[in-house]
Chain A
């Protein structure tokens, strides 16, 4: 093979190759791949590199090359950025490259062999890998390991090169001139940092294979001189043997890209990916003699890319499926790379309206709000940043501004160099939550105001934790001025008046029993102030809340200071007692004297005096009834009516009432029409009072000699008593108010009739206390029927 052929091969190699001579780095040769890297054309051949690729000025390469020439020391570097002018645009590429010093046997520099692999994609992949955060760290480590392996093989290669150089030197001694080219070629093959093999003849006998391709094949030098199909029997069934045969027979090179091959390496079948060229090597007459194989394994890059794609996919999936708003903002420009459904909802935009756009272009209203600065700060510091419950004004497509309440966080996504490349923004719309919490606070405030207005204190006992919480007013009721924690045992129980303590604890225990009380709590008690020793009356109402097992969990309620009310009540009771005493005392002696006198008159047969004293007694009794009525009303008002329940026969009571009426009145004909010999449980005296009142009313408002009919009916669960007269009747307008206190029907007929308007009020109250009812039916000039009903139980 001559050097022309070699240059031809190098021309076709996908690995960028150039050869420079002289200290000024004159481009003797550059293949298309290299020229492509430079973004130039073939006219660069023969020029100095500085002339051909002027943008290299200021970058380190020209100096390095000069140094290689002057020192004869090969220079290798990887992942090195280079700025190259492509289509008039300066772009950054990354290269693995070598400036190999090729020397004459005499030790003088012959040329510099420049090989370069564009690893821009890989470098970018690596950067992306870093972006994909922790998950990709493993992968990065793996890559680092591979890099280590690579550099190890590089070292090996260098060692081999040293050996080669020695043999080359020896060879030179033997065949100074002619063998030079051949050796150079073989040396080039061996030195090339890519896998190269030359396969001779249609049988594809392995003529030359460098260590790289042997590594790829997973074989050693023993395969040399064997047909490929024998050396690599696993290729059977794969397309490569056929492709090589095609290249051999047609003379047309074949280029493969990221092609999968299965190779037995380290004793097992492995799947690997390659970029490769099958290039025919022809003799002078154009016949294909052999096929040159140049291959670059790209398995790791493909795996890395797949891994990146997978993790990117995962990140994207995570973003897209997140139940809260998420978006990735790329670069300080804040380009919206991706935004999930929730984010779009907050923005009120379609995916197409935002994707690939600058955040501030879509949402100019954010300028002036703190968010852009916060984002830039994350780029500056690399520290995540977040805030809870902040507000953001977002413009809707119609221009209206919506105020959102948000929790958000900005998490930096780093590139390979540890710079923040993008930000993952997580935004949770808590507007509803904030609104409802404000609503609750508002309600609580209203509740508090209401409690305050009503002067209610509150208590809240957590029965699980065993804590008790008293508000200020509640504390006041127990004579506590401090705001330290209080306890049930020491502050509540000990704060109760000793006489009330046992009773209140019983009531509370009952409230804790769901079946017995349904958790309702209603009690009045006295407290003795801790600090002031003051006696206070408290009305407490509350509710116990239970868990699903009816175990009490929480005990909430209110307390009201009823000391004044209690004192009023006491004063009222005292007053009633005093009035009873003061009014009844003269009546008592009057009645006693009258009765004594009457007895004397009867003894002396003084009938006139006896009859007169009889009338006096009647008036005394009437007076007594009036006083009693007043006192009853007063007692009713203060809730002091106590029913004295006993079992008695209702018929007998009705008969007694009729007899009593007949003793004092002989003006009417009182008839018990239906009787019902039923026993009822009620306050006999008070029901008697109702009957007396109704009979008395009937006689007052109906003409002398008319009938008063009394009926008693035993019903299913009650007893119904009616008193019917044939009197003047009651106007409908009056009927409604008849049972009001102090209400009197005013008409010419009633002017002369005595009374204060408390009788029916008392009747209705007595029945109310008995859980019964009273009502009236009446027709003007026909008569009136008063009826009352008493429950039988």
Chain B
């Protein structure tokens, strides 16, 4: 059975590319431009979550880190790997503070994306 990936990324082009690449790799991908997708975590039970750190809905308040922290602090969801994606150069710190399992700095390498997702869903 294919692994299920949640992709939350507000830039349509980036989101579509990620979805395309991961589907090519055989993943089942659910994607959204909004964090509302996370409301279905309990029912959908994704195997991994890719989370953009700065979503348009948050305006200037970059808070992917906070979202990740909530997921990782909740016993029901803490087992789900979270990868934070961001353009800021301190993405590593943001990911660590958000208790995320890994990070990808934009512009990321497609091969790196594939290998990270593979690694955390193996």
Chain A positions within 8 Å of B, measured between CB atoms, are 574, 576-578, 580-581, 583-593, 595-596, 599, 620, 624, 628, 631-632, 635, 642, 644
Q: Which of B86-114 contact A (CB under 8 A)?
A: 87-90, 92-93, 106-111
Q: Decide: A587 and B89 in contact? CB cutoff 8 A.
A: no
How distant is the Cα of A590 from the Cα of B13 in the complex, in angstroms? 9
Q: Quick check: is B54 within 8 A (CB to CB) of the other chain?
A: yes
**Which of B14, B60, B62, B92 is within 8 Å of A585, CB to CB?**
B14
Given contacts A581-B88, A595-B110, contact A642 B93 (CB under 8 A): yes
User: How far in angstroms is the closest Cβ of chain A from B95?
Assistant: 12
How distant is the Cα of A586 from the Cα of B87 in the complex, in angstroms? 11
Q: Decide: B87 and A592 in contact? CB cutoff 8 A.
A: no
How distant is the Cα of A595 from the Cα of B93 in the complex, in angstroms? 27
Chain B positions within 8 Å of A, measured between CB atoms, are 11, 13-14, 17-18, 20-21, 54, 60, 62, 87-90, 92-93, 106-111
How distant is the Cα of A596 from the Cα of B110 in the complex, in angstroms? 8
Given contacts A580-B87, A580-B88, A591-B107, 13 further A-B contacts (CB under 8 A): A574-B60, A577-B54, A577-B88, A581-B54, A584-B107, A585-B11, A592-B18, A592-B21, A593-B13, A593-B17, A595-B110, A595-B111, A632-B89
How distant is the Cα of A79 from the Cα of B47 in the complex, in angstroms? 129
Given contacts A578-B60, A580-B87, A593-B17, contact A588 B107 (CB under 8 A): yes
Q: Decide: A587 and B107 in contact? CB cutoff 8 A.
A: yes
Q: Decide: A624 and B107 in contact? CB cutoff 8 A.
A: yes
Interface of B is mostly: loop
Q: Decide: A628 and B11 in contact? CB cutoff 8 A.
A: no
How distant is the Cα of A577 from the Cα of B65 in the complex, in angstroms? 14
Q: Decide: B110 and A592 in contact? CB cutoff 8 A.
A: yes
**Which of A587, A590, A596 is within 8 Å of B20, CB to CB?**
A596
How distant is the Cα of A591 from the Cα of B107 in the complex, in angstroms? 7
Given contacts A574-B60, A596-B21, contact A588 B11 (CB under 8 A): yes
Given contacts A574-B60, A592-B17, contact A620 B107 (CB under 8 A): yes
Q: Decide: A589 and B110 in contact? CB cutoff 8 A.
A: no
Residue of A nearest to B108 (CB): A588
Give the residues in chain A near B11, CB-CB below 8 Å.
Answer: 585, 588-589
Give the residues in chain A near B111, CB-CB below 8 Å.
Answer: 595
Give the residues in chain B near A578, CB-CB below 8 Å.
Answer: 60
User: How far in angstroms is the closest Cβ of chain A from B93?
Assistant: 7
How distant is the Cα of A620 from the Cα of B110 in the complex, in angstroms? 13
Give the residues in chain A near B109, CB-CB below 8 Å.
Answer: 591, 595
Give the residues in chain B near A642, CB-CB below 8 Å.
Answer: 90, 93
Residue of B nearest to A577 (CB): B88
Q: Decide: B54 and A591 in contact? CB cutoff 8 A.
A: no
How distant is the Cα of A599 from the Cα of B24 in the complex, in angstroms? 11
Give the residues in chain A near B87, CB-CB below 8 Å.
Answer: 580-581, 583-585, 588
The 8 closest A-B pairs by CB, nearest first: A584-B87, A589-B13, A592-B17, A595-B110, A588-B107, A588-B106, A591-B107, A580-B87
Q: Decide: B17 and A589 in contact? CB cutoff 8 A.
A: yes
How distant is the Cα of A635 from the Cα of B90 in the complex, in angstroms? 10
Q: Decide: A644 and B106 in contact? CB cutoff 8 A.
A: no
How distant is the Cα of A644 from the Cα of B93 in the complex, in angstroms? 9
Residue of B nearest to A589 (CB): B13
Give the residues in chain B near A590, CB-CB below 8 Å.
Answer: 107
User: How far in angstroms is the closest Cβ of chain B from A770?
Assistant: 17
13 pairs from A and B in contact (CB 8 Å cutoff): A577-B54, A578-B60, A580-B87, A580-B88, A581-B87, A584-B87, A588-B87, A588-B107, A592-B17, A592-B18, A595-B109, A599-B110, A632-B89
Interface centre among A574, A581, A587, A624 (most CB of B within 10 A): A581
Give the residues in chain A near B21, CB-CB below 8 Å.
Answer: 592, 596
How distant is the Cα of A628 from the Cα of B89 in the complex, in angstroms? 8
Interface centre among B14, B17, B21, B107 (most CB of A within 10 A): B107
Interface centre among A587, A589, A599 (most CB of B within 10 A): A589
How distant is the Cα of A592 from the Cα of B14 in the complex, in angstroms? 7
How distant is the Cα of A576 from the Cα of B90 in the complex, in angstroms? 11
How distant is the Cα of A590 from the Cα of B11 in the complex, in angstroms? 12
Q: Decide: B89 and A585 in contact? CB cutoff 8 A.
A: no
Give the residues in chain B near A596, CB-CB below 8 Å.
Answer: 17, 20-21, 110
How distant is the Cα of A642 from the Cα of B107 in the complex, in angstroms? 21
User: How far in angstroms is the closest Cβ of chain B from A617?
Assistant: 9
How distant is the Cα of A445 from the Cα of B87 in the complex, in angstroms? 52
How distant is the Cα of A589 from the Cα of B11 in the complex, in angstroms? 9
User: How far in angstroms is the closest Cβ of chain A from B107?
Assistant: 4
Q: Decide: B14 and A588 in contact? CB cutoff 8 A.
A: yes
Give the residues in chain B near A593, CB-CB below 8 Å.
Answer: 13, 17
User: How far in angstroms is the closest Cβ of chain A from B88?
Assistant: 5
Give the residues in chain A near B14, CB-CB below 8 Å.
Answer: 585, 588-589, 592
How distant is the Cα of A258 from the Cα of B93 in the complex, in angstroms? 110
Give the residues in chain A near B106, CB-CB below 8 Å.
Answer: 584-585, 587-588
Residue of B nearest to A576 (CB): B88
How distant is the Cα of A132 from the Cα of B87 in the complex, in angstroms? 98
Give the residues in chain B near A628, CB-CB below 8 Å.
Answer: 89
Give the residues in chain B near A624, CB-CB below 8 Å.
Answer: 107
User: How far in angstroms is the closest Cβ of chain A from B56?
Assistant: 10
Q: Decide: B20 and A580 in contact? CB cutoff 8 A.
A: no
User: How far in angstroms is the closest Cβ of chain B from A462?
Assistant: 42
User: How far in angstroms is the closest Cβ of chain B from A620?
Assistant: 7
How distant is the Cα of A581 from the Cα of B10 in the complex, in angstroms? 12
User: How far in angstroms is the closest Cβ of chain B from A270?
Assistant: 107
Given contacts A577-B54, A577-B62, A580-B88, contact A591 B108 (CB under 8 A): yes
